[in-house]
Chains A and B, each alone.
Chain A
Amino acid sequence: MVPGTHYLALAAFLFAIGFAGVLVKKNAIIVFMCIELMLNAANLTFIAFARQSGSMSGQAIAFFVIAVAAAEAAVGLAIVIAVYRTRGTISVDEVEALRDR
């Protein structure tokens, strides 16, 4: 039997990879994919805890998270398209019409 801690540590690794990716990557779409990784890590945590405690509510929550991720993806990608249309780049560093001057 694999102890629950293994699954939870796996989720923590996944979350850390996504977290680092959001801050390290430059391409907006990849940054967004890293956010998806973080959401998946949260889902794995919910499901692992649900299995550990034998209560299924964690699985129901994971369901909602998938729906939220889909909604976020739709709006987020639309915003990426809008940015690309107005300036022809989606590099996080080069989008800087708005800043302190």
Chain B
Amino acid sequence: MGASAETVLFWIFAVPLIASAAGVVAARNPVHAAMSLVSAFFWLAGIYVLLTAHLLAFVQVIVYAGAIMVLFLFVVMLLSLTDAELGLEKLSALKWVGVVGAAGMLVLVVSALAQSGPRAMRAVGADFGTVRAVGRILFTQYLLPFEATSVLLLVAIVGAVVVAKEKI
């Protein structure tokens, strides 16, 4: 892929990504927010492809946009929120804390990134980001976190069932 093509693609993915992320925050209706979030996940998957993370791009679409967002939408539908509950926004004080805090954090991180300087992307082999290569790391270097994650998923299942049950 040519350098200019990559730049063009980057902006094609990045601008709608930020726009749909902002859409999540701007939306009043949770269904609109969820749809914006789904589109953000899709654009993000495009960015992942640019970063040679092909497997993760697929996982992003299948697990995040597919499974997790369906769960969100299910709950939104289940609660059948009326307009009254969508209501007004939070107290203005906390709102300003949020905006100022986010801006401060952005300045902190971006200035830190700027100080660490632009680093050129390293050339990578053909198997970078493939199922085989990522899988090998998962089961060797990251075996302990992998097994701990299996416990985590079990906790989540038990916890979700216990919490959502109507009666104990």
Q: Which residues of A contact B (CB under 8 A)?
A: 1-10, 12-27, 29-30, 32-34, 36-37, 40, 43-44, 47-48, 50-54, 56-57, 59-64, 66-75, 77-82, 84-85, 89-93
Cβ of A84 to closest chain B Cβ, rounded Å = 5
Given contacts A23-B94, A47-B51, contact A74 B67 (CB under 8 A): no
> Is A17 a contact partner of B25 (Cβ separation < 8 A)?
yes
Residues of B within 8 A of A18 (CB): 21
Q: Smallest distance from the beta carbon of B161 to chain A beta carbons, Å?
A: 8
| CB pair A69 B64 closer than 8 Å | yes
**Interface mask (B1-37 → A, CB under 8 Å = 1, otherwise 0):** 0010011001000100110011011011010011001
Asked if residues A12 and B53 are in contact (CB atoms below 8 Å), the reply is: no
19 pairs, CB–CB < 8 Å, chain A vs chain B: A1-B120, A3-B120, A7-B10, A9-B110, A12-B106, A20-B99, A29-B76, A33-B34, A50-B53, A51-B124, A57-B141, A66-B63, A74-B160, A77-B160, A78-B160, A81-B79, A82-B163, A90-B81, A91-B85
Q: Which 4 A-B pairs have the closest CB atoms?
A: A23-B98, A71-B156, A20-B102, A54-B122
B119 touches A26 (CB 8 A): no
Contact residues in B for A67 (Cβ distance below 8 Å):
149, 152-153
Task: Assign chain B's interface to a size class.
Answer: 35 or more
Instruction: Report yes or no: B44 in contact with A40, Cβ–Cβ below 8 A.
Output: yes
Complex: how many Å from CA A7 to CA B48? 10
Question: Which of A7, A50, A74, A84 meets B71, CB within 8 Å?
Answer: A74
A29 touches B72 (CB 8 A): yes
Interface residues of B in 104-128 (CB under 8 A from A): 105-106, 109-110, 113-114, 118-124, 128
- Chain B interface residues toward A at CB < 8 A: 3, 6-7, 10, 14, 17-18, 21-22, 24-25, 27-28, 30, 33-34, 37, 40-41, 44, 47-48, 50-53, 55-56, 59-60, 63-64, 67-68, 71-72, 74-76, 78-79, 81, 85-91, 94-95, 97-99, 101-103, 105-106, 109-110, 113-114, 118-124, 128-129, 133-134, 137-138, 141-142, 145-146, 149, 152-153, 155-157, 159-161, 163-164, 166
The answer to whether B10 touches A2 (Cβ under 8 A) is yes
Is there contact, CB below 8 Å, between A54 and B18? no
Which residues of chain A are near B51, meaning CB under 8 Å? 7, 47-48, 50-51
The answer on a CB contact under 8 Å between B90 and A1 is: no
